[in-house]
Amino acid sequence: MMENISTERILNRLDELLSRNDYASAEEHILYWIGEAERIYDNRTKLLLLNELAGLYRKLAKEKEALKTVETLLNLVTDMKIENNIGAATTYINCATVFKAFSKAEEALPLFNKAQHIYETELEVDDERFGALYNNMALALVDLKRFDEAFELYEKALSVMNKSDNGLLEVAITYLNIASLKEVELGIENSTEIINDYLQKAMKLLDEHETRDGYYAFVCEKCASVFDYYGHFIYYQDLLERAREIYERS
């Protein structure tokens, strides 16, 4: 009889390890369960865990390991003959994000485009997953100095995110992404006013957001470095403190 792997239990344990920044144990945990999935020929679980592993290696800036995992992921999608389903789209986005993180935006874009085609075929036009896709694609386009295309995707992301449950937090992130785009496109001297406008918009959303949960803490941490970069040192510390308080309560 085929054994069943509880992916919920695996992911809960992974979240616990990551919440403690115990990345070595998180990697060991994922690799163990990938081995178990291979042992019982459970490719769906293997695909899920390889996506988690790629994200972990990206976070840890382990380029060699991350790119090797991407290669394995893309081969597995082909082997499973699932190139055109939502699971494949998720994998394409994760792999593209790895390429982008290691300055390989040219290699990222074809994968983002594949994911976009699947989304447009399988999802409603206002599905919140489009927002994340557009944001990530735009970041790659900025690297390639295709600023008009990137800005257009950010505007599409804003349109989608404004309608989703956690959308206002994603809108805040998008505003910060646009600020960074304008700096790269125009230079800091010519974009200061535009940047400050987007920073203020993001601040307002972060300050007024009522649900102060783990996701809010994650967003605060993600946004904090941008405010630090642009010299908003007090607000940077404030966001980190908000996140710390939430994590301590959980």
Residue 44 above 90 pLDDT? yes
What proportion of the chain, given as a percentage, has pLDDT over 90?
Answer: 89
Asked whether the beta carbons of 177 and 139 are under 8 A apart, the reply is yes
| Alpha carbon distance 242, 220 (integer Å) | 7
Residue range 203-210: average pLDDT? Answer: 95
Q: What confidence tens digit (pLDDT) does each residue in 142-184 have?
A: 999 999 999 999 999 999 998 876 689 999 999 999 999 999 9
Residue 3 above 70 pLDDT? no
Closest CA to 74 of 58, 96, 55: 96
| Residue 69, pLDDT score | 98
Residue range 111-118: average pLDDT? Answer: 97
Asked whether the beta carbons of 161 and 174 are under 8 A apart, the reply is yes
Residue 21 above 90 pLDDT? no
Provide the H-helix boundaries in the chain. 7-19, 23-39, 43-59, 63-80, 86-101, 105-122, 129-143, 147-161, 167-186, 188-208, 214-229, 233-249
What confidence category does residue 68 fall into, taking pLDDT thresholds of 50, 70 and 90? very high
What confidence category does residue 1 fall into, taking pLDDT thresholds of 50, 70 and 90? very low
Q: Residue 149: helix, strand or coil by DSSP? A: helix
Q: What confidence tens digit (pLDDT) does each residue in 71-106 have?
A: 999 999 999 999 999 999 999 999 999 999 999 999
DSSP 3: -
Tokens of 126: 């206002």
Residue range 108-112: average pLDDT? Answer: 98
DSSP 21: T
Structure-token match 């290669």, residue found = 71
What average pLDDT is seen over the chain? Answer: 94
What confidence category does residue 2 fall into, taking pLDDT thresholds of 50, 70 and 90? very low
Residue range 4-12: average pLDDT? Answer: 90
| Residue 166, pLDDT score | 65
DSSP 165: T
Q: Please state at what angle helix 214-229 crosses helix 233-249, rounded to 10 degrees.
A: 160
